[in-house]
Amino acid sequence: MLEFEFDNLFGLAMLTVSGLVGGELARRIRLPSVTGQILAGVVLGPSVLGLFGHDLAHALTPVINVALGLIAMAVGSHLHIYHLESASRRLGWLLALEMTLVPAVVFAAAHVAGGGNWVFSLLLGTLAVSTAPATLVAIVKETRSRGVFVSTLMAAVALNNIACILLFEMAFTAVSVGADPSVGLSRIFLAPVAQVAGAALIGGGVGLGMVVLTRHVFAPDRLATASLVALLLTVGVASAVGISQLLSCLFLGATLANTVPEKEEVGHRAFASFEPAILAIFFTVAGLELDLGMLAPAGLLAAAVVAARAGGKVLAGYVAMTIARAPVRMRQNMGWALLPQAGVAVGLLLKVRESPLQDTVGQLFLVVGVATVMLNEILGPITTRWAIGRSGEEGKDRPRLIDFLHEYNIVTGFHAETKEEAIGKLVDVLLRSHRLGEVDRDALVAEVIEREKAMSTCVGRGLFVPHAHFDGVSKLVGVMAISREGLPLETPDGLPVHCITLLVVPADEKRRHLEVLAALARSIGADPNFQNQLYHAHSPAHVHEILHAEEFEDYNYFLEEEQL
């Protein structure tokens, strides 16, 4: 017994080191670390050197389940209801097309290449919807990416994994009914609902328990310990009752994001220091389990499925972002970033292997399914890294001067007849978007108006920057409103106001406020190119992209540590 435990721990240590080394080597040749970690596992595994076998991977299953749960919790944290309100059109269209177009394209390709086996094609089509959350989390962290594209991408991954489980459960039950009519047609709809409802109940229940705990516990170390217990509890309960562990942890992350977003010591953020090692373990073990021998029998059929899925994802991303009038970079790159596949897909493949349906769908389904996931997981990280780079958000996860303005703090199509009306509307947006429910709204409005009467901040050239020093906030907060037509307010140059930026800072902190004022005056007030782009932006996403574009870094510059 002691020898078995020692071997597993030794193997875990070797795989972790190998994964970290493989990831670093991959980065040196400008490949994602994920790709290097997966390939390190493949080389160490049965397919190449055979230093470690599948038995080690199986022995490490609990560790991998916890790692995947942590990753799912991080992805779920991007499902913040208010923050996603401005992205709802993009996400809605993308989810609709991923649930229809992608399965249809893959079904057609598998049906033709697979000799007309509709059961085989139906299951592969539904599996194609999912995207590997772990891969995206790893690449986003490695590239230090942040912005509207990344936030939309992460939320889309959370949603398409939920959709994949729903569709697959429906398809799986339909096939079961065909093989055994006694199963009952009603289960086609009940099975997927039960999976999602069960995951929401487990993850949401544990998350709400954490919320209650945070009201009584304030010590960071205790909150971090409680987060670990919550993660283990969610994974363990989900596994015990046969509910998706990934989906349960995703709901856990979403629950915490919507209830205690200000708690840095709660949820996946509590494990930030260990994430590189956790991700290295996860992807190296994933590579260890890949069997390159499966690529040969899968042959052209797996290649056809991979190509069809890639085409469907890219087309779905482009069409959805076009309909939603998303920025051009988002249209061009969203689908390419969604190509990695593992996690949910692997779990659903195992469900088929362990069910009586294995004889119905045939061994070919499992071979092709595993080969497809393998190819997508090796090639997908490369396309994701490329897409994030082309989105312009790589390297942007650093503090910047105008970081307080996110997509959900920006309003377009703004209308107001007077300064007082404009200030009142923007204060409402500020309190809602920054979650300042305890701030006295009327007192803040009165303070901003009083300052405006003392000295007008309509600086001309379409810019209006009302502000206040207010004890009800703990840091600089603000919102921006864009009016393409222009507001008929009194200005020094007689021109209409197109951009209003409301700033509120603590009474004892004025430096950052003055820096922001200066940057806005230099950019909007003096740069006609900046003005033209900003004043004609048709969505908050476009405004955010303009503010964070590379050509305007002289205005919205990166802050050094001593400036924070």
486 φ, ψ to 5°? Answer: 95, 145
Q: Active site residue: 83, 268, 467, 513, which one?
A: 467
- Angstrom distance (rounded) from CA 309 to CA 428: 44
Rounded to the nearest 5°, which phi and psi values hold at 418?
Answer: -135, 165
Tokens 């596994």 locate to 239
Q: Are strands 463-464 and 458-460 parallel, antiparallel or unpaired?
A: antiparallel
| Cβ proximity of 153 and 136 under 8 Å | yes
CA 193 centroid distance within chain: 23
216 catalytic residue (yes or no): no
Tokens standing for residue 132: 């590997």
User: Exposed e or buried b for every residue in 347-370, given b needs 16+ CB within 10 A?
Assistant: bbbeebeeeebeebbeeebbbbbb
The alpha carbon dihedral of 424, 430, 432, 437 has a sign of: negative
Helices marked H in 290-324: 295-323
Map residue 536 onto helix, strand or coil.
Answer: coil
d(C-alpha 454, C-alpha 477), whole Å? 22
Distance between CA atoms of residues 191 and 242, nearest Å: 12
CA 436 vs. chain centroid, Å, equals 25
Indicate which residues carry an active-site annotation.
Answer: 467
